[in-house]
Structures are given as structure tokens and as C-alpha cells.
């Protein structure tokens, strides 16, 4: 299964989500390919410093992350696209073929993942925690789908 995480700039939320999901997938032996991108991302920027610091608490190294914009190719390669907000979802629904959900929606909750960009480390920590909790539920859902195949 190919999962794409999408936010605005791919320096915070989607980058953290993909790194966290990689860790959860490895710990749960899930066969997934994970990517992240940003609707307005520029190619090749680093993750924000506070995103890197927030994930250190989960023993995840985000320092090598480089941003990339959402492209038609990456959308076509994705089985599921998980966005950080309803606005991101709305933008991508036009070109994705219907496999777009907000992260919280897919995890069984509702709402948006707030953008910590420009905030302090506490805001990034809260964001990372919210993403992590949602991704535990996503991993369970994926695991259940795989076991029913």
C-alpha cells in the first residue's frame, strides 16, 4: 500500500507524519510505502528545526528530510492520500480519484491538524503527539484491512 501525506509546505506536518508512520509501520511489520509532499512546497528544503526536535523525542531522525511538491505522478502512485486539513483534501480531491482523506478523518476522528509552522517547540510537540496518536489508529486500520484480504 502506498500512502502519501500532504500538508502545505512539507516542512512540518506531512514530514513528521511520514517519519512517524515509517516507525509505526516498521514496529508493526506493515507493508507500506510512505511519501510526503506539500501543496505549495518548494523542492529540497529541510524540515523545520522544531519538527526535527519534536521527533527526536520519538527517536526519529527527520534531519535528512527534503521537501517536495505534490505532483501528478506522486498522486497516481498513491493508494491513500492523507491530508492535514480539510482544505488540503478539497484541493487534492479534484485530481486524485477519490482516495483522499484528512488524517483525522481516516483515523476515525475529525478536525484538522493545526500548522505549528513558526511556533515554539511546545506547539510542534503537541502537533507531533496528535499526529502520532492518529497514526496508531491508521496503522490498526491498515493492519485490519490486510488481515481481511
Distances (CA, A) of 2 to 21, 74, 78, 80: 12, 10, 5, 7
Q: CA nearest 50: which of 134, 116, 113, 115?
A: 116
- Whole-Å CA distances, 82 to 18, 63, 102, 119: 10, 22, 5, 23
Sheet with 100-102, strands from edge to edge, namely: 33-38, 2-7, 80-83, 100-102
User: Are 145 and 31 spatial neighbours (Cβ–Cβ below 8 Å)?
Assistant: no
Helix (H) / strand (E) element for 142: namely: helix 121-148
Alpha-carbon distance 29 to 123, whole Å? 30
Tell me if residue 7 is catalytic: yes
Catalytic entry in 112, 115, 125, 137: 115
Question: Does 127 qualify as catalytic in the annotation?
Answer: no
Active site residue 12: no
Residues identified as active-site: 7, 13, 115
Amino acid at each position: 500500500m502506498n500512502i502519501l501525506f500532504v500538508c502545505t509546505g512539507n516542512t512540518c506536518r506531512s514530514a513528521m507524519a511520514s517519519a512517524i508512520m515509517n516507525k509505526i509501520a516498521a514496529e508493526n511489520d506493515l507493508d507500506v510505502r510512505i511519501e510526503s509532499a506539500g501543496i505549495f512546497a518548494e523542492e529540497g528544503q529541510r524540515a523545520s528545526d522544531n519538527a526535527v526536535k519534536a521527533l527526536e523525542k520519538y527517536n526519529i531522525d527527520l534531519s535528512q528530510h527534503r521537501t517536495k511538491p505534490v505532483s501528478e505522478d506522486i498522486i497516481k502512485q498513491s493508494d491513500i492520500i492523507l491530508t492535514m486539513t480539510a482544505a488540503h483534501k478539497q484541493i487534492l480531491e479534484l485530481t486524485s480519484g477519490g482516495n483522499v482523506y484528512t488524517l483525522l478523518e481516516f483515523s476515525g476522528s475529525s478536525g484538522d491538524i493545526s500548522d505549528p509552522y513558526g511556533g515554539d517547540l511546545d506547539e510542534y510537540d503537541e502537533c507531533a503527539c496528535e499526529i502520532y496518536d492518529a497514526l496508531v489508529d491508521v496503522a490498526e486500520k491498515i493492519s485490519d484491512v490486510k488481515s481481511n484480504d
